[in-house]
A and B are shown apart, each in its own frame.
Chain A
Amino acid sequence: MRRGLTLPLILLLAWELASRLGLADPRILPPASQVLLRGWAAFWNDDLLGNLLASLTRDLAGFSLGTLAGLCFGTLLGLSRLGDRLLGPSFHGLKQIAIFAWIPLISMWFGIGELAKIVFIAIAAFVPVVLNTEEGMRGASRQLIEVGRVLTFNRRQRLTRIFLPSALPAILTGIQLALMASWLATIGTEYFMTVGPGIGGLIIEGRERFEMDQVMLGILILGVVGFALNAVAGHLGRVLTRYETA
């Protein structure tokens, strides 16, 4: 963890020096210190926190919706042969469509307000959760399924005692991917549907006013949040699957 911070710090230093020593045009690449000062000012004057919260709330709403739907749908594909036959081909076809290609369709159906953004983020989270849940359920040990038959488990018991725990590591991987995908999608929607507060909006605004420090600030925040989300998800995953050879 501490060693992982070395490279970013060196880059930060190089960035600062490059701009201070005139290696890069400060209008294109403002010094790091200026970006941080901009952040300080934005925190007090431009409701930086409010923007960040707006992005995170949106992200969380879409992520939760997509993950929940993905868990159900992935379970259906993984466990029901009929479900897989009926819905599997369509899903696997549709998932090939690049996520941003959905934007025109979504804005026609849902407008460009908050709902449309959340739906878009949900789709981004949905796909990796479905794929990993399905695969995890399919991978359940046949030997344990047989133990379940001997113990006359009913449908609910099979799901909660065998399939869900078997699939848990895969599901957690899917959720971690969904967390990253939905954060990217959050920024994406804020770029393409620029209504309402959010970090993406901040960046667009900075670009339009040609204020590179605001753009850089936004990007920096995106990176830090993405990093934090990933770290939290990874930690949670390890805690939840501790029973696997410690």
Chain B
Amino acid sequence: MAATLDIKGVEKTFSIDGRAVPALAGVDLKVEPGEFLTVLGASGCGKSTLLRLIAGLDTSYEGSISLDGQRIRGPSLDRGIVFQEPRLFPWLTAARNVALALENAPLAREAKRRAVDEHLALVGLSSFGNAYPHQLSGGMAQRVAIARGLVNRPEILLLDEPFGALDALTRAHLQDELQRIQQDEQITTVLVTHDVEEAVYLGDRVIVMAPRPGRVAHVFDIDLPRPRRRTDDRLVQQRARILETLEEISGESARPLATQPVGPLEARPALA
């Protein structure tokens, strides 16, 4: 059912103040139907930009992004995205915000109402359906946004640091729920995160991006059966290896700075 996502030679350049800023350069990536891909990388290395291109929000780039050979020309309900910010509509209640995603879905009114209730329950906000965004905490708002992204059951789901604002317990719960839904419905998923543990726990594959210009630096296959245990030795080992890679990359991109005289205070390693 789901399609293969094929990203070929993608380059994206922004212009800031007339100056060309390369955000992505030569990104090649193939995501199989039903695959769970997680993306790591330093701030500013183009992760959000990549998701926006896949979502079809920006079509001015070099290279091609296609689904089963069909080039992506714009947004579609088959591709859902949860943005880095909640982006809730301030004049709508939490429930109405979630319902917004079903507005153009071919469902009966009753089915829509049920889906909205179910997804509010999924993110633990059943009793906040009538709350307005300004009455929610940052993490609660982000959970409403996650519900809005899931309620439509897209074929491809793009998530931009969706769990960043959550406490550890809620985060673990939502990771498991996301994994369950993703497995049940075989949703092709691309999840951006800063949390290496989250990346290895959820991903079939973890890609590590490097900055300036943004590119795929390393790919790690996480070949472990699900359901996984968070404390599994093999996960812990993968995590250590990926952390090492991340440190290497950040060391590389920081090298020009290191040629300057280093005082005794700055001599400590950046990543403790």
Residues of A within 8 A of B (CB): 143-144, 146-147, 149-154, 157, 161-162, 165, 168, 243-246
Contact = CB atoms under 8 A, between A and B. Distances in A.
B104 interface: yes
Contact of B104 (A151, A162, A244): A151
Contacts of B14: none
A206 B77 CA distance: 69
Contacts of A161: 89, 100, 103
A146 B48 CA distance: 14
Given A147-B89, A244-B90, 5 more contacts: A151-B75, A151-B100, A153-B103, A161-B100, A243-B132
B180 interface: no
Interface in B85-117: 85, 87, 89-92, 100-101, 103-104
Contacts of B90: 243-244
Contacts of B80: 150
A152 B100 contact: no
B100 A150 contact: no
Contacts of A168: 91
Contacts of B83: 143, 146-147
B65 interface: no
Contact of A165 (B87, B89, B103): B89
A178 B134 CA distance: 30
* Chain B, interface SS category: loop
B81 to A, nearest CB: 6
A156 to B, nearest CB: 11
Contacts of B132: 243
Nearest to B104: A152
B75 A149 contact: yes
A246 B90 CA distance: 12
Contacts of A157: 103-104
B267 to A, nearest CB: 42
Contact of B77 (A144, A151, A245): A151
A246 B134 CA distance: 8
A151 B87 CA distance: 13
Contacts of B104: 151-154, 157
A152 B55 CA distance: 11
B57 interface: yes
B85 to A, nearest CB: 7
Contacts of B55: 150
Given A151-B100, A152-B77, A246-B134, A144 B89 contact: yes
B70 interface: no
A144 B57 CA distance: 13
Interface in B113-139: 132, 134
Among A149, A157, A243, the most chain B Cβ lie within 10 Å of the Cβ of A243
B91 A165 contact: yes
Contact of B101 (A143, A151, A243, A245): A151
B245 interface: no
B135 to A, nearest CB: 8
B87 A144 contact: yes
Given A150-B75, A165-B91, A244 B134 contact: yes
Nearest to B100: A151
